[in-house]
Amino acid sequence: MIDTSNYNYGPAGQAIDVDLLNNPELVASDPVISFRTALWFWMTPRDNKPSCHAVITGQWTPTPADDAAGRVPGYGVITNIINGGLECGIGPDPRVEDRIGFYKRYCDVFGITYGDNLDCNNQKPFNFGASAWLAAQ
């Protein structure tokens, strides 16, 4: 699970019945907990963010606020969900380009198309999560 605060550790821990707030190292050291938190993160919408799963399966429909923020269906929104406060809305970013390369590689392996809107260069970040939490501190 990618996180810099307890924004995800508390809810993820509650969902999988593990005290991750007091034992965050379990996400890195216990393979079962690691997998369970990864699945929780992938499947769970948070605040104004859709789940990564809903985006990649085409189940997510942008709201008018998403449209105004340039958040359109595609792999770029997944980057925005995961790390948007650091990587989205700032133009081309090598970290994003690297991730897109891995995404394309696995699409090729599975013989599926990439889809549209692979980057988040022109998307405003979702305003919740670690970045907003840290800014409020």
40-98 pLDDT tens trace: 999 999 888 999 999 999 999 999 999 999 999 999 999 999 988 889 999 898 989 99
CA nearest to 115, candidates 61, 55, 41, 62: 55
pTM of the model: 0.83
d(CA 26, CA 77): 28
Neighbours of 129 (CB within 10 A): 24
Q: Contact at 8 Å (CB) between 91 and 121?
A: yes
pLDDT bin (cut points 50, 70, 90) of residue 112 is: very high
Q: Contact at 8 Å (CB) between 95 and 117?
A: no
Domains and CATH numbers, the chain: 1-44 (no CATH), 49-137 (1.10.530.10)
Q: Is the pLDDT of residue 4 over 80?
A: no
Torsion of CA 109, 99, 60, 6, to 10 degrees: 130
Mean pLDDT of the chain: 89
Q: Is the pLDDT of residue 105 over 90?
A: yes
Q: Is the pLDDT of residue 103 over 90?
A: yes
Q: In the block, which residue shows the tokens 């891995």?
A: 102
CA nearest to 26, candidates 49, 105, 38: 38
